[in-house]
Structure 1
Amino acid sequence: MESLKVQDYMNKRPVKFSPEMPIAQAVEALLSSKQSGGPVIDAAGNLIGFLSEQDCLKQMLDSTYYREQIAHVDEVMVTEVSPVSPNDSILELTARFVKDGYKMYPVVDDSGCLIGVINRSDVLYAIDVHLKDEYKRTA
């Protein structure tokens, strides 16, 4: 199981956001991608934050009260992000998902540049494939 790596199961084309993007545009991107959140990157592709559905819901709720409030991603994104490496083990990542309760982690290279995301479904799929392969070998 240690041989299963994040890079083999991550989404290499996630929805991404820029800090100056309006929240309304970010919501449209989330809805069309059917993702629960996504990384916020700077012009160089470096990870600078994360925007979730939860962040957007709060902002959308606030906007219904004030009618004209136009927020941008950098005003509501989370800046304390815990990325993972493409070489991390799926087993270790599974333990992080269980411990931290996150739905998704951004995947960055050694220089901090975003290269993808991995979510709980991706990890479940990796484990399922591994278990099925092991079952076939022992049957």
Structure 2
Amino acid sequence: MTKPAESIHPGATLEDAIAKLGRARISALPVVDRDRRVVGIISEGDVLRQRLPADPRAHMIPSAPTSAGEPSIEAVMTADPQCATPRQDCSEVAFTLARRGWKSMPVVDDDGRLLGMVSRSDFLRALAQPDAVLSTAVHNAFTQAGHPEWRAVVHHGHVTVSPHAGDQDGAAVATAATVAGIRSVELGARRWAAQGARRPPWGP
């Protein structure tokens, strides 16, 4: 996720939201209360629906007077938005974004307080990590799990765990699967050079 996340308060104006969205080049702003709990979200679409009246020159219609009032964020936002949690499976969040057509989603703690934002571009950046970077991340995950002797090879984001962990092969596969950007993990006896795979930087 991206953190810290830009946010806005319910009592702010639409102009405030436009300025923040444009300056930060983001597609949505979580709306938070005084305790940083997420109470809503305002997106580019919400702004455009409010701020783009029809052009009378293009449609040959008389110009309608515009309202002098400026709606508050609370009047325009989507209340009680769906949020993600830090421990939630990335695949679930990515599926929700794709299914709902959303570009991003707030990430909150157990009390609903804003921690960050996760977006489709965050997932794409993770998937685009070079194999060498992912290989190092997998090795670091093995080391943190207390097994620096475990071995794996990464090829185009897909991991093959060397079947030398004995009765802990399953644990090695599960550990590798926790690394962000890994697309799949399998247990196999492939040689490191198979399919042009990169030799791991931490050993044979």
Residue type matched to 1:93 in 2?
Answer: V
The partner residue of 2:19 within 28, 33, 43 is 28
Q: State whether residues 84 and 106 of structure 1, in contact with CA within 8 Å, keep that contact through their aligned partners in structure 2.
A: yes
Taking structure 2 as the reference length, the TM-score comes to: 0.58
Distance 1:131 1:95 in 2: 24
Q: Deviations over 1:27-86 (max 9, x none)?
A: 011100000111000011000000001111111135x84141211100100014110001
Distance 1:91 1:129, change over 3 A: farther
Q: 1:121 to 1:15 in 2, by over 3 A?
A: same
Gaps of 5+ in 1: 1-9
| CA RMSD in angstroms, aligned pairs only | 2.1
The partner residue of 1:16 within 7, 26, 38 is 7
Q: Cα distance, 1:131 vs. partner?
A: 6.4
In structure 2, what is the Cα distance between the partners aligned to 1:30 and 1:37?
7
Match of 1:5 in 2: none
Hey, what's the Cα distance between the residues in 2 that align with 1:120 and 1:65? 39
Residues 104 and 117 in structure 1, CA contact (< 8 A), matched pair in contact too: yes
Runs of at least 5 residues in structure 2 that lack an aligned partner in the other structure: 54-63, 135-153, 160-191, 198-204
Give the 5 Å matches for 1:1-139: 10-61=1-52, 65-129=65-129, 133=134, 134-135=154-155, 139=197
- Would you say the 8 A contact 2:38–2:80 is kept in 1? no
State the one-letter code of the partner of 1:120.
R
Q: Secondary structure at the match of 2:78?
A: coil
- How many pairs are equivalent? 129
- With CA pairs under 8 Å and 6+ residues apart, which has the higher RCO, 1 or 2? 1
| Residues 106 and 114 in structure 2, CA contact (< 8 A), matched pair in contact too | yes
Q: d(CA) in 2 for partners of 1:90 and 1:125?
A: 13
Work out whether residues 105 and 119 of structure 1, in 8 Å CA contact, stay in contact via their aligned partners in 2.
yes
Distance (whole Å) between structure 1 residues aligned to residue 102 and residue 2 of structure 2: 16
Identity %: 28
Secondary structure at the aligned position of 2:42 is classed as strand
- C-alpha displacement of 1:130: 7.6
More helix by share: 1
